[in-house]
Structure 1
């Protein structure tokens, strides 16, 4: 184990073997963290049946996890600017494992929700800290490592539904908790492989953290449940938070963090890119079920090749980010997204293998957009605020995912015979899917133009 005092020349103090071990263990727990979210989305109908729940009740299995996960990603990011990563990861992994064991033995739906909240409180540490590791331990290979991380996330997003459908179908949905409990086995390896660091100066603004946590929780609840008083609560607490950061000497988030044009622009660009990407992940299973008539397992198998492609190309996303720079890779990701969304809009209703091939383009874009934007942000942030800066990035991405799913769900409620895409041959219930896909393409074009115009200045 390497001991590090301060943050100077960290990369030079680590051998190639130590670097490989850090990347391996971080990607392993990240895989479980991301899979834990997607696996349970597949199991929601089974959980509803087990406890005789209506959809509005069982939706809290997913909603509670999203809310706590998003808040945790921000909180751990801030804490990482002060406390050693090893300490935070040990706490996070312990909570993740305890929540998983509690969920496996849950006798009631209330205990399932409690277990999901504890899981999220721990799993969010992995998402928050894994994006800090490249800047702290691999500054000269940051793009490459971010590519590996992003490809792991893309792979986990695709393989989660397959594993979730298989385990819930063959065994029982509560065994999904047991899979996640395996993260406890990684704690000794973190203590052996992650460099030892000293606690840095500073303290956490607890009141500011409370205000932003309530504001974030309320806005996500509004997005997912569309209850208007959640929006009013969010606005109120956000105003109080803004007043706090301008008056307090050491606020939870420093206002000057957003003065960087590059940081602001990249956050906004990433938000809309992730909104379309995660919206697509929500839309695809619905289309494959409604239009192509596939069951849960078949849907997972259809999407799986795209997830594998994203995992395999993630390395190249990192290589190209280092070689070309983050901006150029953002444009490449947009090209994949626009092509994929456009083709999906045109080919709705075609054979499943055709949809599977086109889906490759959209999934491949995932590691490219995430690697490039994360790299741009880490370059724009001062070292002392890498943690909270990346925490805000993860928070906005989570909010984008929730908003994308909510908007698409509402869009599919409206039936029409009018086709926006003149090249599409969609008919009947295929029409709305075609229209939503082409709308995602149009939004991506607008996002690309915004990024180019602002960054060019």
Structure 2
């Protein structure tokens, strides 16, 4: 009997996965809007209130990798029950918070539980929908992209008409998906296996200090992060079963896919981070208007997701990845040219890049699923999710610094508009170049001869 047949209600499971993913992503993007309100409530400096997002992303990134590893050994029902319960507890704690320290603690608790969601949502299609994996990954990715777009709108509405604390209460509603997930997930037994918790701690230290160094701009933290990285490399060679098997990165196809996906998501998250700033500063728009301008892009991502998933199944995952990267290069080049035009024109132009989001995610995840050994799917996809969240922090920090320090009047793109939008035109042009580099490196490395599968499996298996 195939794993797909063990799911009682595949449609119900898919709906439940999409619902939990939707609420999880919205939780992150809604709080972006609430940061100024939180700062005003507790009279905080920008560097202090930034921990609302920095602390969440830091714990979330490490947790996504950890849950991916645990998924190789523990039943999904157990992990998802633990994760959603912890997330809901953190949300309620935040709603009743009395000071800023309690708010930060609530966000950390949220991240400890919520990090389970992307790890398992991207693994479930691989395990339970093998015959429609591309389609399901496309749907999940489209939900992720759509939630990223409407999150700021929902956050602005809730914080504006009620209070920012109600964002926590809204997030707590995610617990209603748990009974449906438990009902539709099959009963599984835990597997025996060794988990390198020391290695996990070293990886956590590396990622945490790296994200802190990037977001806070503290130089000495880069040195600490480098030390953790060196210790992790030593640990990976010193024991037989390290937390992340080093042979994963010896597979040229796996590494090429991870790098290409990382570059694509860096630019996509960078676009999502920069667009609200651009419309606020260069077009003097309020939060609600910005959300409405971005809404068509979010809808296009949702509509493209299922179509892209079907293309993965029918045309192949590499075909869809090449298509997505080509669309991204085109979309960013168009935006570089049109920044400074009427907002409605930009709203239409944004669609090209937004619709590529689920295509990049679905095709990359499907490629990785084909490359990974079945006993390492969790940790292999965990690295994929980890890099997604690191890319968000990296792009936001770098773009923020660029906007602070660089203010040209004339863009590099000779077809672009002069004036206060020139910096945004240049950033979009850089995005197009980054995507082109990713496409070239993928084409060169993915077509290299791969070692036989028998040589790739770890000896312990």
For the residues of structure 2 that align with 1:147 and 1:133, how far apart are their CA atoms? 13
Task: State the secondary structure of the residue aligned to 1:132.
Answer: helix
TM-score, normalisation: structure 2: 0.95
- State the match for 1:33 in structure 2: 24
Matched, 1:416 2:408: yes
Q: How does 1:51-450 map to 2 (within 5 A)?
A: 51-413=42-404, 414-424=406-416, 426-450=417-441
Runs of 4+ residues over 4 Å off in structure 1: none
2-structure distance, mates of 1:416, 1:350: 17
Give the equivalent residue in structure 2 for 1:12.
5
Alpha-carbon distance, 1:276 to partner: 0.5
How far, CA to CA, are the matches of 1:64 and 1:14 in structure 2?
36
Determine the structure 2 residue equivalent to 1:49: 40
Q: Distance in 2 between matches of 1:186 and 1:452?
A: 40
Q: Per-residue displacement from partner, 1:312-369 (whole Å, max 9, x unpaired)?
A: 1100110001111111111111122112111111111111111110011111000000
Task: Give how far 1:287 is off.
Answer: 1.0
Q: Are the equivalent residues in 2 in contact too, given 1:336–1:365 (CA < 8 A)?
A: yes
Aligned equivalents of 2:437, 2:247: Cα separation in 1: 28
Name structure 1 gaps, 5 residues minimum.
1-7
Alpha-carbon distance, 1:304 to partner:
1.1
Alpha-carbon offset, residue 138 of structure 1? 0.8
Q: Is the 8 A contact 1:82 1:203 kept in 2?
A: no
Question: After superposition, what is the alpha-carbon deviation per residue over 1:201-260, rounded to whole angstroms, capped at 9, x for unaligned?
Answer: 202111111111111111111111111121111111111111111111221111112221
Shift, 1:286, TM fit: 1.0
Distance 1:343 1:259 in 2: 37
User: Matched residues in 2 for 1:223 and 1:324: separation?
Assistant: 39
**2: CA distance between counterparts of 1:352 and 1:111?**
40
CA distance in 1, matches of 2:229, 2:313: 37
State the 1:117 CA deviation. 0.3
Number of matched residues? 447
Counterparts of 1:66 and 1:158, CA distance in 2 = 18
Cα distance in 1, alignment partners of residues 142 and 370 from structure 2: 21
The Cα of 1:150 is off from its aligned counterpart by 0.2
- Whole-angstrom CA distance in 2 between matches of 1:443 and 1:137: 35
Q: Distance in 2 between matches of 1:348 and 1:184?
A: 41
Q: Write out per-residue CA displacement over residues 155-195 of structure 1, whole angstroms, 9 at most, x where no aligned residue.
A: 11001000000000000000000111011122222221110
Q: Whole-Å Cα distance in 2 between the matches of residues 198 and 405 of structure 1?
A: 41
Equivalent residues of 1:143, 1:319 under 8 A apart: yes
Q: CA deviation at 1:109?
A: 0.5
Cα separation, 2, equivalents of 1:191 and 1:445: 43
Are the equivalent residues in 1 in contact too, given 2:56–2:107 (CA < 8 A)?
yes
- Compute the RMSD of aligned alpha carbons: 1.0
How far did residue 411 of structure 1 move?
1.5
Q: Is the 8 A contact 2:13 2:180 kept in 1?
A: no
- Within 1, Cα distance between the matches of 2:434 and 2:238? 38
* Contact residue 275 and residue 404 of structure 1 kept, 8 A: yes
**CA–CA distance in 2 between the matches of 1:301 and 1:162?**
7
